[in-house]
Every structure is written in structure tokens, then in C-alpha cells.
Amino acid sequence: MNFEKFEREFSDLANLFKYEGFYNKRSSNYEEDLYGKFLEYRFIIRIITSRLESDISEFIPLDNSLLESLGKSPELDLDKAEQLTTVLSKINLDVSDFYIYTRIFLDTLNMCIRHSFKHTGNKKWSVMTPSITGLLNENKMRTYKREIDFQFFEGLENKVSWIHNLKKPRDHLVHGQHHFVLTDTRQGEMGPDLIGKVKRIWGTEKVKPVLRELQGILGNISDLMNYLHKNLPRK
């Protein structure tokens, strides 16, 4: 995973929050601890993606080895099958964690936006709901534009539209069948793909390996952080 863009935008926004006084170690109030909650995601996402890279590098040769052994003998190699199942379960957990903590982080960013308007004296800051879902709701977004800051939320709307696409794969992994398919991307790469992307027909569609999919999500988060760094109200 390439974290160069993510680290740059994350650091810029973290420095802004620190300068604007988001951090208050003496306060137990949730809103005053937003800086710490924001910083936490950087470490969590590094841990999750590192585990995932390791698990995927282990999964692919195991899967190839199992298929090769089946080609030589109709009897299933139970040891290899158990190893494969174990690694696949680890991948499921890693990706589930990625989606869960990314959603928590997006809620935190939403709270940071809310806090910024409060911090700079906007009397309508409480109109914003604490959850990121408020930014994805057309009616609420119109209210934010009308009552808080039209220009800011008009620009922000384009930066959060991609979040709608997180719901389906996350729901499949967290609440649904909890497994991947192995797919050929037609680009010389094999990898476990997010469930639902290939509609269970292997190798027949261009799809992204899971690491590339998650890299794209981090890219979208980076663009969102860049927008907030440039456009959030300041004291």
C-alpha cells in the first residue's frame, strides 16, 4: 500500500486541528477529544493494511498449491485446505476491520467539521448531525447549505459522494456471508476480491484486487482531508 498521499493530507489536517485547539488533554468531553480520535486512525489503518498485505501474500501461493494438488489427485489435501481457510478468515477480519474503522473515522471527520463551525462561532453548528450519514442525506445537506455555510457544503458534497459505495461491500462482510472469491483481474494479477464484485463468475470481469480497492478508498479519504484542510472555517 502506498501511503504517501494519505500521510501528507493527514499531517496537514492534523496540524490544522492542533493549531486550532482541537486538543484539550484536561477535558473528558467527547468533542474536545476529537484530535486524539482523529490521530488514532493513522495507526489503526497502518496495522490493518500491514496484516492484510501479509495475509494476501500467504493466501495466493496456498491457493495455487491446493489447486495444483487437486489436479494431481482427486483427494483433498486437508492440511492445505485448513491453512487456506485460516488465512482466508484472517483476510475477512482484516477487511471488515478496515471498513469498520474507516466508518468510525468518517464519523470523526464529520464531528470535526461540526466542531470547526462551533469553534469559530457559527450559531447554527448544532444543525449538523454527529454521524457521516448527515452529509450523505440530500435533505440534510440542503439544510446545511441553507443554514450553516452554502459554499463550504456545496464543495464538500462532491467530496463525500464516494462514501455511498462503501455500504454494500461493508454490509456483505460485516453482516452477510463473510467471504471472498478468488478472481482473475485480466491484468495478470490474482487476488481475493470484495464479495459481490464479480457476481460469483470468476475471471469474467475486470475487477480490482482488494488491496487496490482499499488503496482507492484511502485516496478518496485523502482528497476529502485536503478539502477540509483548505476550506474548514478557522478562528
38, 17 contact by CB (below 8 A): yes
Burial 134-163 (b: 16+ CB within 10 A, else e): bbbeeebbebbbeebbeebbeebbebbeeb
Q: Name the DSSP letter for residue 71.
A: H
Higher pLDDT residue, 34 or 233?
A: 233
| Alpha carbons 204 and 199: distance in angstroms, whole number | 10
Query: 96: which 3 cell numbers?
Result: 471488515
Q: How confident is the model at residue 200 (pLDDT cuts 50, 70, 90)?
A: very low
pLDDT at 47: 96
The whole-number pLDDT of residue 198 equals 45
pTM for the model = 0.84
CA distance 188 to 201: 17
Domain boundaries, the chain: 4-174+216-231
- What is the mean predicted confidence (pLDDT) over 174-189? 57
Per-residue pLDDT reduced to its tens digit, 31-53:
457 888 899 999 999 999 999 88
In this prediction, residue 116 has a pLDDT band, given cuts at 50, 70 and 90, of very high
> How is residue 115 written as a grid cell?
466542531
Q: Tell me the Ramachandran region of residue 208: left when phi exceeds 0, alpha when psi lies from -120 to 50, beta otherwise.
A: beta
Mean model confidence pLDDT for the chain? 82
pLDDT digits (tens, 9 = 90+) for 205-225: 555 678 888 899 999 999 999
CA gap 4, 220 in Å, rounded: 13
